[in-house]
Chains A and B, each alone.
Chain A
């Protein structure tokens, strides 16, 4: 092997999707699930982990098969691989975190339609070696999950006044304020439009800090 597993180039594959080429805020992929499952931090976190597993797994498998897949039917092959992985993830969730799996309902199955996964397979895994593809998959999955958890954090705190952390359970944060003073939870935060606006505000902050993302027309 000519270069080490965690060379600069490989680490860049993980770091870039966190900021410079974040799948949600820069590539604008996978928006729909970001709107649907970010009402609670716990569901967002579980969803993020599932997506990381699927992107990483499918990237590796497709990358291993990249020289055997005929390019005409590559989409079908990719779909089969992604679908099998999604079913696996779904079964694991049902076995170990049944409650969250029930809340996520159809959205676990819908990971297969998440544009990030197909996008990374087409753009990266088909042309790169398995290890690099793995790093790319993990990076994009984490970049996606990061936004999910941040959005869910604000939506849950202001929408229901609690924080449901995975493994810890529900923490009451603003509920006593709502009971004792005139404070009311913001119902709009729970509705999907507010997720879009939260993502928008995140993009605003990200771009004002990271000047190279601003397009010059």
Chain B
């Protein structure tokens, strides 16, 4: 540690030197490696022992199970599609082939997302002469996990530029954004390049080598698309029953398929207290309640899908754990968090079922509630003021 510290100190460029960007980059790296020793010069401040960079790193660690599973599943789905492994073979068959294939597909996405996003952060930091804001650490990992595997890299780059500049920097940078940055990138991709972001052909990587061909009956549709057509039965036929969807060997965006892996991450976030359990819980309750109401209605097969099944397919779990709980864009008050989370769950299921053009309602539900969060907080705070005003007796 001492050696590393000495090395970094030796490399330290001058703050007002020729290259302001050099100092910004150095400062960003240094505070990433070591908790900075700055102290406040005036007044008393209460600080948590864990600063923003350390918080972000915890979230990245929580994302690792979903990421590794995603990488493996990309390979798994590909080899299923080309017929190298059979549907009823053991999932660990050709383990390394699948993993390497997936890694080759997913790593470029991660590199592009981080490279472009951090590049913009560095430039803005140097322009505005403040230290690098670490907000992109998590967003940069989330973006590759919520896109289909074959999305072209330049599209990811464009979406990242859009999300970081329009979604975050124009509002004042990290901690000032109104909507979730990663979801802004996904929404941009979804509306700008719909052919690469929805439909049946994008979720499984079907790049064929010579002599390969897709197996008979391969469709590539996600469970969500199938559920619209045929409800529970269709899902069971495509090997996406409740248990199979929970474990996650189903087509979908890279990191969203396995509720199990996401759950491991959620556990870490909850134990360390980084994500709000109120939001997570109320999102799941909201989704469950809405799915149950649809069960009672039962107008089409999708409505009859059991609530548990609704929660384990698509991006619901991923959104509830990693997106809805974003401390910047979510509600800040405790009561507000319950309302905010509950409505996310309700809207996500509602959009899914009612609007077949948007099979994944989670993205739109969270973005919508991000915008509503300040309003919810406002009324919660007002209600609290009103309640406490009643206790006051004015002695004129």
Contacts and interface: CB of A to CB of B under 8 A. Distances in A.
A184 B193 contact: yes
Contacts of B217: none
Nearest to B189: A188
Contacts of A182: 152, 154
B170 A186 contact: no
A200 B170 contact: yes
B173 to A, nearest CB: 14
Interface residues on B, range: 10 to 19
A110 interface: no
Interface string A173-215: 0000000001110111101000001001100100000000000
Contacts of A184: 155, 193, 195-196
B194 interface: yes
A187 B192 contact: yes
B188 interface: yes
A187 B166 contact: no
A187 B155 CA distance: 12
Contacts of A189: 192
A196 to B, nearest CB: 11
B152 A187 contact: no
A143 B305 CA distance: 55
Given A182-B152, A182-B154, A184-B196, A191 B166 contact: no
Nearest to A186: B192
Contacts of B191: 187-188, 191
A83 B170 CA distance: 40
A147 B195 CA distance: 31
Contacts of A197: 166
Contacts of B188: 188
| Most chain A CB neighbours (cut-off 10 Å) among B166, B192, B194 | B192
Main secondary structure of the interface of B (DSSP, over half): helix
Contacts of B193: 184, 186-187
Contacts of B158: 186
Contacts of B152: 182
A200 B148 CA distance: 30
A191 B191 CA distance: 9
B183 to A, nearest CB: 15
A191 B170 CA distance: 21
A189 B192 CA distance: 7
B195 to A, nearest CB: 7
A149 B265 CA distance: 49
A182 B188 CA distance: 18
Interface string B180-193: 00000000100111
Interface in B182-235: 188, 191-196
Nearest to A189: B192
B170 A187 contact: no
Given A182-B152, A182-B154, A188 B192 contact: yes
A46 to B, nearest CB: 27
A204 B196 contact: no
Interface in B30-48: none
Nearest to B188: A188
B170 A204 contact: yes
A66 B191 CA distance: 50
A182 B166 CA distance: 25
B160 to A, nearest CB: 14
B179 to A, nearest CB: 12
A58 to B, nearest CB: 36
A197 B188 CA distance: 12
A184 B191 CA distance: 12
Nearest to A158: B192
B155 to A, nearest CB: 8
A138 B123 CA distance: 41
Contacts of A188: 188, 191-192
Nearest to A183: B154
Interface string B249-291: 0000000000000000000000000000000000000000000
Nearest to B187: A188
A127 B193 CA distance: 51
Interface string B131-173: 0000000000000000000001011001000000010001000
A182 B153 CA distance: 10
Interface in A134-188: 182-184, 186-188
A183 B158 CA distance: 12
| Most chain B CB neighbours (cut-off 10 Å) among A188, A197, A201 | A188
A182 B194 CA distance: 14
A189 B162 CA distance: 12
Contact of B194 (A187, A200, A204): A187
Which are the 9 A-B pairs with shortest beta-carbon distances? Answer: A188-B192, A188-B191, A186-B192, A187-B192, A184-B193, A182-B152, A187-B194, A197-B166, A187-B191
Given A184-B195, A187-B193, A204-B170, 19 more contacts: A182-B152, A182-B154, A184-B155, A184-B193, A184-B196, A186-B158, A186-B192, A186-B193, A187-B191, A187-B192, A187-B194, A188-B188, A188-B191, A188-B192, A189-B192, A191-B191, A197-B166, A200-B166, A200-B170
Interface of B: 152, 154-155, 158, 166, 170, 188, 191-196
15 contacts: A182-B152, A182-B154, A184-B155, A184-B193, A184-B195, A186-B192, A187-B192, A188-B191, A188-B192, A189-B192, A197-B166, A200-B166, A200-B170, A201-B166, A204-B170
